[in-house]
């Protein structure tokens, strides 16, 4: 039942809300993809079924104009209006879906003239993420000031985030409203740095800083 619920009531990633509305409803990107795919699929299935039934060939029927004949090259008989219609209509639909799909990518890249409040060095390994930032190497007046270093390992309970310790494990915490840049590197193999809430991931490639 949980899987069925997720399939019916899936939501947009939160980062898409500014583009698709403040909810993951029928105006959102995911729902538009689903609804248009369903409509096009039903249209094609109904049209194919109609042609298969209505134009089926029965014994005794005369040969139609496009019947295959041995040694005769088939004639090209088309309808220009239909050809134009089924070229233009899908082009418009695909262009629209492409536009609303590319919109959220604007949030993933740097904004011109906007400096980062924090730059976090992210290093991937088998199998962990390590996070470091220059702020952790400076003396801080407030001991509760944000700082996160060490090795990240997947918590048992994702709702809990352990405080940094000598061997910290848990979540990477960042200040609310801050502009954060991540510099990504890998020690060994290809890894995927993924924020599900953003609806996008970034590959981390060995010997390449991203």
84-136: pLDDT as tens digits? 998 999 999 888 888 777 766 655 555 555 676 777 778 888 877 777 755 44
Return the pLDDT at 145: 45
Preceding amide of 157 cis, omega within 30: no
User: Which parts of the chain sit beneath pLDDT 70?
Assistant: 1-28, 66, 103-114, 116, 133-172, 197-200
Identify any residues that bridge with 183 across adjacent strands, giving them in sequence order: 121
Q: Domains of the chain (ranges plus CATH)? A: 2-107 (1.10.287), 118-204 (no CATH)
What are the φ and ψ backbone dihedral angles of 186, each rounded to 5 degrees?
Answer: -130, 140
Q: What is the pLDDT of residue 199?
A: 63
For residues 148 and 85, the answer to whether their CB atoms sit within 8 Å is no
Predicted pLDDT of residue 188:
85
Please tell me the predicted confidence (pLDDT) of residue 105.
63
The pLDDT value recorded for residue 111 is: 57
Q: Which of 152, 118, 122, 157 is nearest to 135 (CA)?
A: 118
- Given a contact cutoff of 8 angstroms between Cβ atoms, the answer to whether 192 and 7 are in contact is no
| Strand boundaries in the chain, DSSP class E | 118-125, 128-132, 150-152, 180-186, 191-195, 200-204
Q: Is pTM, for the whole model, over 0.85?
A: no
């Amino acid at each position: 039942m949980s899987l069925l619920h997720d399939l019916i009531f899936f939501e947009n990633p939160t980062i898409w809300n500014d583009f698709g509305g403040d909810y993951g409803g029928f105006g959102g990107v995911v729902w538009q993809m689903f609804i248009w795919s369903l409509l096009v699929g039903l249209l094609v299935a109904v049209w194919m079924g109609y042609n298969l039934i209505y134009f089926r060939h029965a014994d005794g029927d005369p040969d139609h104009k496009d019947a295959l004949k041995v040694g005769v090259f088939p004639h090209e008989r088309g309808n220009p209006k239909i050809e134009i219609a089924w070229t233009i209509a899908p082009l418009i639909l695909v262009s629209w879906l492409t536009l609303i799909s590319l919109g959220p990518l604007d949030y993933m890249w740097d904004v011109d003239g906007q400096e980062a409040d924090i730059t976090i060095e992210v290093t991937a390994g088998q199998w962990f993420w390590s996070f470091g930032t220059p702020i952790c190497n400076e003396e801080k007046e407030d001991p509760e000031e944000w700082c996160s270093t060490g090795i990240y390992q997947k918590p048992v309970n994702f709702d809990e985030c352990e405080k940094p310790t000598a061997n910290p494990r848990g979540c990477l915490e960042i200040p609310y409203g801050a502009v954060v840049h991540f510099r990504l590197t890998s020690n060994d193999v290809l890894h995927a740095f993924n924020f599900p809430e953003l609806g996008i991931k970034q590959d981390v490639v060995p010997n390449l800083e991203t």
